[in-house]
Amino acid sequence: MGRIISKINKRAAANAASEKTEKWSLSKSLPYLLNRVGFRIIDEFEDALSAEGITVSMWRVLAVLNERGPCKISDLAGPTSLDSSTLSRLLKQLERMHFVKRKRSADDERVVDVSLTDRGAELFRRIEPSVVALERDLEAGFTEEDVHVLRRLLTRMYGNVIDRSDRAPLSSRSA
pTM of this structure = 0.77
Alpha-carbon gap, residue 154 to 175, rounded angstroms: 24
CATH topology of domain 25-140: Arc Repressor Mutant, subunit A (1.10.10)
Q: What is the pLDDT of residues 24-75, one digit of tens each?
A: 999 999 999 999 999 999 999 998 899 999 999 999 999 999 999 999 998 9
Q: Bridge partners of 7?
A: none
- The enclosing H or E element of 110 equals none
Alpha-carbon gap, residue 159 to 155, rounded angstroms: 6
Buried b (16+ CB within 10 A) or exposed e, 112-126: ebbebbeebeebbee
CA 89 to chain centre: 18
